[in-house]
C-alpha cells in the first residue's frame, strides 16, 4: 500500500536516513521504532512532504509521492500528526477538525464568497461530520473551546481526528502516546484499533514499548538512519541486535 | 437553526439599520453644515480599506506596511482613466479596483515566500516604489507632485448625504462578503496559515495559493476604497501613498482589534474622530499613531474590541457565579474528576 524504496535523506553531508525501504500493509498497524536520533521522524517528514528525499521513492497505491508538497500528499490520502503538537491554537476544537477536511471540499472561492447553496450544504454536511469525529474521541463537549484550552492528552487526540478528517488511506502518527497518562494510553490502544476498523491504515512512531508491542502487526527498527530489523512484535522482542541498540550494546 | 438565529437577531438588525439611516440626518441637524457628513463618508471608505487589510493581516497573519499603495492605485487608475480617456466612472472605478487586485496578486507571488519582518520590509518597499512612481512618473502622466483633480460621481455630486447612503450600501455588501468568506473553507485556510503555516500545509492547505488569494482580496477592498475616495474628495496626490497612510490603516486595525468585523469598524471610527479632533496638531500625526500603537500593543493586545469582549466575558462570568454558585461548583468537580 504505502512503501518507501531505498529512501536516503542527506542534510549537507549528514545522512539522516540511509537506504530505508519499508512496506505498510493495508488495514494493519505498522510501527517504526528505534533509539533517539535514529531518523524515524525524518522518514515521516519525508513521506509527508516536509523534506524531499535525496534519493529513493515514496509510493502510495502505485502513485509516486517523493518531492510532492505537503498539501498534495494530504490530498493523495496521507494524513499525519506531529511529535510536537501543531494545532491551530486560537481556532476552536471543531474548526481544527474542519481545517483537516480541506482537501476533500468542493466549494470554490466564489462559492465561499457568495455563500451559494453548494457552500451552505457542504458546510452543514462537514459540521455534522466534524461533530461525529469529535464524538469518536469523546471531545465533542469541547467543540467550541479553543484548541489551546485542552489538556495535553486531549490535544493529541484532537491531532489524530484532525488527521482522520481528511478521510486518509494512511495516517502517520508521530509519538501519539507522548505526554499521555496510563488511562489515556489505554484509551489510545482502543482508539488505534477503532481507526483500523474505519478502514484507515496506520504507520506509527512511538517510544512506549508496551503500547507498540500490544497494537502493532509489524515493526521496523531504525538505528542511525539504517534499517536494523523488521518483523512481528515477538520476533523483534527476541532480536539480540534490537536489544543491544536499545540497551547500549555490548562491545 | 439558522433561521432561528436570524429571527433572534432581527430586532438588533432592524435597530441598527434605523440608527444608521437616522444618524446622518441627526448629525446634519446638530452640526448645521455638511462637514461632519464628509467625515462620516471618509469613515465608511476607511472601513472598506481597513477590512481589506484585516483579511491579509488579521486573518492570514501576513503583515503589510504598504497598503496605502493599493488605495492610491485604485484612486489614480480610476481618476486617470476618466481624465485621459473620458471613460464613465462606472467603468473606471471597477477598473481601478481590478488593477489594484491584479497588482496585489502579483506582489503576493514573491511575498508569499517571505515571513514576518522580511515581508514587512518588502511591503514598505512596494509602498515607496508606488509613491516615487506617482511623484515622478514617466512623461509626467500622473501630474507628479501636483496630484490630480477628478470629477465626482454624477448623481451624487457634492451632496454628502447621498454619498453617505451610497457608501453605506458598499460597506454593508463588503462586510457581508467578508463574513461569508471568513466562515468558509477559505477563511479557515487563512486563519490556519496564521496559526501554524507548517501544520496548514500538512492538513492539505495550499499555503502559497491561499496567501495569494488573501493578498488579492485584500488589495481588491483597499483598491475599491481608494477608487471611491478619489471621487468623493475629487483630488488625490502622491502623498496619499506615503508610509503615513499605510501606518494609519494599520493603527486603525490594531486599535480596533484584528480578525473581526466590529474591531475594524470601532478602530476606524475612533481613530478618524480622534484625528479630526487633533487636526490643529497635524504635524504630530505620526507621533500620535506611534503612541496609540504602543498603548494598544502593550495594554490591549486584542484592540478595544478585544478589550470590551474580555470585560463583557468577565461580567458574565461574575454574574453566573452569583446566580448559580452551586451549578458552577458542580461543573468544577466534574472537570476535576476528568483530569
Pairing type for strands A14-24 and A2-11 reads antiparallel
Place of cell 483633480: B149
Nearest chain A Cα to B1, which residue?
A: A124
Q: Which cell is A146 given?
A: 479553543
Put simply, the answer to whether B202 touches A86 (Cβ < 8 Å) is yes
Question: What is the pLDDT at residue A20?
Answer: 94
Are A45 and A51 within 8 A, CB to CB?
yes
Domain membership flag for residue B148: yes
Quick one: pLDDT at residue B32?
Answer: 84
Domains held by chain B: number: 2
> Are residue B316 and residue B180 in the same domain, yes or no?
no
B235 and B316, same domain (yes or no):
no
Residues B316 and B199 grouped into a single domain: no
pLDDT at A251: 42
pLDDT of residue B325: 60
DSSP tally for chain A: helices H, then strands E: 10, 10
Q: How confident is the model at residue A111 (pLDDT cuts 50, 70, 90)?
A: very high
Question: What was the pLDDT predicted at B6?
Answer: 67
- The pTM score is 0.92
pLDDT at residue number A168: 96
* The Cα angle at residue B196 between residues B191 and B200, in degrees rounded to 5: 75
List, for chain B, all residue ranges whose pLDDT scores fall below the cut of 50. 1, 328-339
Domain that holds residue B217: 33-278+285-301
A contacts of B201 (beta carbons < 8 Å)? 49, 69-71
The verdict on B111 and B168 lying in the same domain is: yes
Q: Which residues of A touch B206 (CB under 8 A)?
A: 71
Taking residues A155-174, report their average pLDDT.
95
Do residues B251 and B322 both lie within one domain?
A: no
* Same domain assignment for residues B163 and B110: yes
Q: Among A49, A68, A70, pick the best mutation site for testing chain B contact (most B Cβ within 10 A).
A: A70
- The pLDDT tens digits of the residues spanning B191-249 come to 999 999 999 999 999 999 999 999 999 999 999 999 999 999 999 999 887 888 999 99
* Whether residue B315 is found in the same domain as residue B297: no
Complex ipTM, two decimals? 0.93
Task: Give yes or no: residues B76 and B152 share one domain.
Answer: yes
- State whether B124 and B203 are in the same domain: yes
Cβ contact B195–A100 (<8 Å): no
Residues B82 and B228 both lie in one domain: yes
Determine whether B234 is exposed, middle or buried from the number of CB atoms within 10 Å of its CB (0-12, 13-18, 19+): middle
Give the pLDDT mean for A104-108. Answer: 93
Q: What is the pLDDT of residues A43-97, one digit of tens each?
A: 999 999 999 999 999 999 999 999 899 999 999 999 999 999 999 999 999 999 9
Amino acid at each position: 500500500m504505502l512503501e518507501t524504496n531505498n529512501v536516503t535523506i542527506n542534510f549537507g553531508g549528514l545522512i539522516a536516513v540511509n537506504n530505508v525501504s519499508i512496506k505498510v500493509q493495508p488495514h494493519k498497524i505498522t510501527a517504526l521504532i528505534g533509539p533517539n536520533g535514529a531518523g524515524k521522524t525524518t522518514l515521516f517528514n519525508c513521506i509527508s512532504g516536509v523534506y524531499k528525499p535525496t534519493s529513493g521513492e515514496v509510493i502510495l497505491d502505485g502513485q509516486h509521492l517523493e518531492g510532492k508538497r505537503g498539501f498534495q500528499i494530504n490530498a493523495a490520502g496521507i494524513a499525519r500528526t506531529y511529535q510536537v503538537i501543531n494545532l491551530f491554537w486560537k481556532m476552536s476544537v471543531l474548526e481544527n477538525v474542519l481545517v483537516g477536511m480541506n482537501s476533500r471540499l468542493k466549494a470554490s472561492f466564489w462559492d465561499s464568497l457568495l455563500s451559494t447553496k453548494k457552500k451552505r450544504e457542504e458546510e452543514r454536511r462537514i459540521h455534522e461530520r466534524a461533530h461525529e469525529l469529535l464524538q469518536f474521541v469523546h471531545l465533542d463537549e469541547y467543540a467550541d473551546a479553543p484548541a489551546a484550552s485542552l489538556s495535553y492528552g486531549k490535544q493529541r487526540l484532537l491531532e489524530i481526528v484532525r488527521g482522520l478528517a481528511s478521510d486518509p488511506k494512511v495516517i502517520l502518527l508521530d509519538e501519539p502516546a507522548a505526554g499521555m497518562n496510563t488511562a489515556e494510553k489505554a484509551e489510545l490502544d482502543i482508539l488505534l484499533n477503532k481507526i483500523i476498523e474505519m478502514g484507515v491504515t496506520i504507520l506509527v512512531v512511538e517510544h512506549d514499548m508496551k503500547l507498540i508491542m500490544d497494537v502493532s502487526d509489524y515493526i521496523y527498527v531504525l538505528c542511525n538512519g539504517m534499517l536494523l530489523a523488521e518483523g512481528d512484535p515477538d520476533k523483534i522482542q527476541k532480536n539480540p541486535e534490537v536489544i543491544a541498540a536499545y540497551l547500549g550494546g555490548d562491545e | 437553526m439558522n433561521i432561528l438565529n436570524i429571527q433572534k437577531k432581527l430586532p438588533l438588525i432592524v435597530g441598527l439599520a434605523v440608527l444608521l439611516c437616522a444618524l446622518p440626518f441627526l448629525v446634519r441637524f446638530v452640526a448645521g453644515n455638511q462637514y461632519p457628513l464628509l467625515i462620516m463618508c471618509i469613515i465608511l471608505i476607511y472601513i472598506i480599506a481597513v477590512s481589506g487589510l484585516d483579511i491579509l493581516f488579521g486573518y492570514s497573519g501576513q503583515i503589510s506596511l504598504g497598503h496605502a499603495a493599493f488605495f492610491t492605485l485604485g484612486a489614480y487608475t480610476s481618476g486617470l482613466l476618466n481624465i485621459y480617456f473620458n471613460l464613465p466612472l462606472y467603468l473606471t472605478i471597477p477598473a481601478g479596483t481590478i488593477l489594484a487586485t491584479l497588482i496585489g496578486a502579483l506582489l503576493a507571488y514573491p511575498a508569499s515566500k517571505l515571513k514576518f519582518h522580511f515581508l514587512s520590509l518588502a511591503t514598505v518597499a512596494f509602498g515607496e516604489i508606488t509613491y516615487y512612481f506617482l511623484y515622478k512618473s514617466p512623461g509626467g502622466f500622473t501630474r507628479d507632485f501636483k496630484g490630480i483633480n477628478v470629477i465626482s460621481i454624477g448623481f451624487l455630486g457634492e451632496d454628502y448625504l447621498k454619498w453617505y447612503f451610497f457608501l453605506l450600501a458598499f460597506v454593508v455588501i463588503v462586510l457581508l462578503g467578508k463574513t461569508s468568506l471568513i466562515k468558509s473553507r477559505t477563511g479557515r485556510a487563512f486563519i490556519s496559515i496564521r496559526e501554524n503555516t507548517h501544520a496548514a500545509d500538512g492538513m492539505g492547505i495550499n499555503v502559497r495559493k491561499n496567501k495569494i488569494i488573501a493578498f488579492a482580496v485584500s488589495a481588491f477592498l483597499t483598491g475599491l476604497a481608494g477608487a471611491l475616495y478619489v471621487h468623493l474628495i475629487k483630488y488625490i496626490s502622491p502623498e496619499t501613498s506615503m508610509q503615513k497612510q499605510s501606518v494609519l490603516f494599520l493603527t486603525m486595525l490594531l486599535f480596533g482589534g484584528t480578525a473581526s468585523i466590529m474591531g475594524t469598524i470601532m478602530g476606524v471610527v475612533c481613530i478618524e474622530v480622534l484625528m479630526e479632533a487633533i487636526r490643529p496638531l497635524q504635524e504630530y500625526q505620526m507621533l500620535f499613531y506611534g503612541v496609540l500603537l504602543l498603548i494598544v500593543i502593550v495594554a490591549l493586545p486584542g484592540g478595544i474590541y478585544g478589550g470590551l469582549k474580555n470585560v463583557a466575558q468577565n461580567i458574565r462570568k461574575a454574574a453566573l457565579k452569583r446566580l448559580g454558585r452551586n451549578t458552577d461548583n458542580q461543573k468544577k468537580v466534574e472537570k476535576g474528576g476528568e483530569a
